[in-house]
Amino acid sequence: MKKKLMILTSIISTLFILVLSACNQTDSKQSAASGDQKPASKDPKIASLSIHLTNDLLALGITPVGSVMGGDLKAFLPHVADRLKDTKKLGVAADPDMESLLALKPDVIYADEQYAGKDLTKFKNIAQTQVFNLDDGTWRDHLKKIGKLVNREQQAETFINDYQAQAERVKPLIHNKIGNNGKVMAIRVTAKELRVFGMKRPMGPILFNDLGLKPANGVEKINKAYEVISQETLPDFDADAIFVIVNKEDKAQKVFEQLKSNPIWQGLKAVKENHVYIIEDQPWLDYSALGNKMALDAAEKIFAK
């Protein structure tokens, strides 16, 4: 009799333990579902009032909820448009759509000091506002600052290190084409004028700093984005290679066709040596982490041939 009682007691105890365990598991699942556990951190809802800051965010894997567009295009820049399908268009940097910005209810606004103006109240009344001086430091500095703000400092460092490694791969490809001492210039043909890019962003840093190319004669004295020149002065630069951006409008295309038939152009060393490289305005003129990375991709394709 005692033996039967002991067996029955053991069975009851085992059943009790199993029921208790099941209850605990259910409670645990319910607690997790009800949010008792620490929720995963989420990226802030960022509205970007700079195409360059937008592309820095994209480089870190963050898609802004809203972004301004390219001023001339009145659209997102073509090389990143596919990444901004779910992003609200906020007008252009010089005149952002404040009504759309307000409707987004962003957590934070990223603004370019050049366009934001001194009175930031209209932005701060909507959300916390971070202002960037894009002429202060390099795109690397801007990316690091954003990385710190969004808790992605390691991703920023990784991006920069990968970019540097790629630049080191591209350098010898270019030198193999134009020589180790080859001098380089970049020009832009518009419907109304001919520009030579200087040492400042957007083109100067990628050509003369990142890729370590030598500026053609006189380019080093252009301490700004670009300078308007006449066709007659092109030989003075004595460039071994010329990067050319031609605006897409028909008039600019016709101007370039006329330039190519000009004896001055045909007499240039770079033209004679077949070292003229036509490049797209975007991503080359998008001075951002992602833009520069894509420009390196384009250069690698051009000079690996």
Domain contains 26: no
pLDDT digits (tens, 9 = 90+) for 93-135: 999 999 999 999 999 999 999 999 888 999 999 999 999 999 9
For residues 249 and 239, give the distance between their C-alpha atoms in angstroms, rounded to a whole number: 27
Residues 140 and 205 in one domain: no
Paired tokens of 242: 């010329």
DSSP per position, 205-272 = IIIIIIS-PEEPTTGGG--SSEEEE-GGGHHHH--SEEEEEE-SSHHHHHHHHHHHTSHHHHTSHHHH
Q: Is the pLDDT of residue 295 over 90?
A: yes
Residues 191 and 88 in one domain: no
Residue where a domain terminates, one of 123, 151, 179: 151
Provide the β-strand partners of residue 110.
48, 130
For residues 124 and 114, give the distance between their C-alpha atoms in angstroms, rounded to a whole number: 17
CATH number, domain of 147, equals: 3.40.50.1980
Number of Cβ within 10 Å of residue 187's Cβ equals 22
Confidence category of residue 43, pLDDT binned at 50, 70, 90: confident
Domain contains 19: no
Domain contains 39: no
For residues 237 and 239, give the distance between their C-alpha atoms in angstroms, rounded to a whole number: 5
Residues 265 and 190 in one domain: yes
Domain contains 240: yes
Residue where a domain terminates, one of 116, 151, 186: 151
Q: Is the pLDDT of residue 12 over 60?
A: no
Residues 132 and 180 in one domain: no
Structural domain for 250, as ranges: 167-304
Q: Which pLDDT value is given to residue 41? A: 53
Paired tokens of 83: 């990444």
Confidence category of residue 82, pLDDT binned at 50, 70, 90: very high
pLDDT digits (tens, 9 = 90+) for 143-195: 999 999 999 999 999 999 999 999 999 999 999 999 999 999 999 999 999 99
Domain contains 286: yes
Q: Which pLDDT value is given to residue 72? A: 78
277 backbone dihedrals φ, ψ, rounded to 5°: -120, 115
Confidence category of residue 36, pLDDT binned at 50, 70, 90: very low
Domain contains 94: yes
Residues 300 and 183 in one domain: yes
Q: Which pLDDT value is given to residue 117? A: 84
Provide the number of structural domains found in the chain: 2
Confidence category of residue 73, pLDDT binned at 50, 70, 90: confident
Looking at residue 77, the DSSP 8-state letter turns out to be -
Q: Which pLDDT value is given to residue 38? A: 37
| Cis status, amide bond into 96, omega within 30 of 0 | no
Residues 145 and 187 in one domain: no
Paired tokens of 164: 């540097």
